[in-house]
């Protein structure tokens, strides 16, 4: 299996924010040894379906979609699943799995607690 | 010194997302032993200045504003600093420190790498 990760940020009008996401995708690829393609829900490109179909067309036989979102708002609950479904319809023979959003990991709170503790130490 | 943390999320039209932020603030308070007040940039209440002035009025003599934001978009670069400045003008005798946004911590990438590695294991 050759898995690829499509790493989804919200997207921003600020180029610095979008550039930071592209850099984070590169770091994530280095850490995991897996191809990681950045994608954006809105305001920047590539879109989520574009990044997924590009990963499949480049040879991935499994795509993991990782939403860099913190809370279960409408983007996580509705918008991203609909865009993943659109990509599945376009590339029906490849498994495309939508992972839990980043913020669902209890380790996020631990990281925040460390940030506060460092400041108060 | 009695420090309080004002923990800032974007805010959502989805009550589930705002409720998750209030719950996260409670968990963060438990982990750190510090008072943590949730606040929202938009779409939910309390606002950032409201939460800061409430913390000062309740007895905090230092307020740390922790933005739960991932990338340096306009909210981080412009909107949140302006609201913190508004709170400083309203309570000029109390130090109000704007911390780095959550996503500036390199440990965020480590956490994401662990999420991907767990899925591929």
Q: What distance separates the 2 farthest-apart alpha carbons in chain A?
A: 53
A7 φ/ψ angles, rounded to the nearest 5 degrees: -105, 110
The answer to whether residues A68 and A8 touch, using CB atoms and an 8 Å cutoff, is: yes
Tell me what the mean pLDDT of segment B58-79 comes to: 96
For chain B, say whether A118 makes contact (Cβ under 8 Å).
no
**Angle between helical axes of A107-120 and B107-120 (0-180°, round to 10):** 160
Does ipTM surpass 0.90 in this model? Answer: yes
A68, A99, A116: residue with CB nearest B66 = A116
pTM, whole model, 2 decimals?
0.93
Chain A residues in contact with B7 by the CB 8 A cut-off are 112
B residues 66-95 near A, CB within 8 Å? 66, 68, 70-74, 76-77
Q: Please indicate whether, in this complex, the C-beta atoms of B77 and A28 are within 8 angstroms of each other.
A: no
- Indicate the pLDDT class of residue B17, thresholds 50, 70 and 90: very high
Query: What is the C-alpha separation between B7 and B24, in angstroms, rounded?
Result: 9
**pLDDT tens-digit series, residues B73-111:** 999 999 999 999 999 999 999 999 999 999 999 999 999
A7, A12, A72: residue with CB nearest B71 = A12
The answer to whether residues B68 and B103 touch, using CB atoms and an 8 Å cutoff, is: no
Q: How many cross-chain Cβ pairs, A to B, lie less than 8 Å apart?
A: 131
Which of B112, B117, B118, B120 best tests the A interface by mutation, with the highest count of A CBs <10 A?
B112
Which of B104, B121, B106 minimizes the C-alpha distance to A33? B121
B96 φ/ψ angles, rounded to the nearest 5 degrees: -125, 110
**pLDDT tens-digit series, residues A17-69:** 999 999 999 999 999 999 999 999 999 999 999 999 999 999 999 999 999 99
């Amino acid at each position: 299996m050759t898995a690829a990760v499509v790493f989804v940020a919200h997207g921003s009008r600020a180029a610095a924010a979008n550039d930071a996401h592209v850099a984070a995708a590169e770091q994530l690829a280095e850490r995991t040894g897996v191809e990681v393609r950045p994608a954006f829900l809105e305001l920047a490109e590539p879109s989520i379906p574009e990044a997924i179909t590009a990963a499949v067309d480049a040879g991935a036989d499994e795509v993991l979609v990782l939403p860099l979102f913190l809370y279960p708002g409408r983007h996580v609950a509705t918008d991203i699943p609909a865009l993943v479904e659109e990509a599945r319809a376009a590339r029906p023979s490849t498994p495309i799995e939508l992972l839990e959003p980043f913020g669902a990991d209890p380790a996020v709170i631990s990281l925040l607690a460390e940030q506060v503790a460092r400041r108060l130490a």
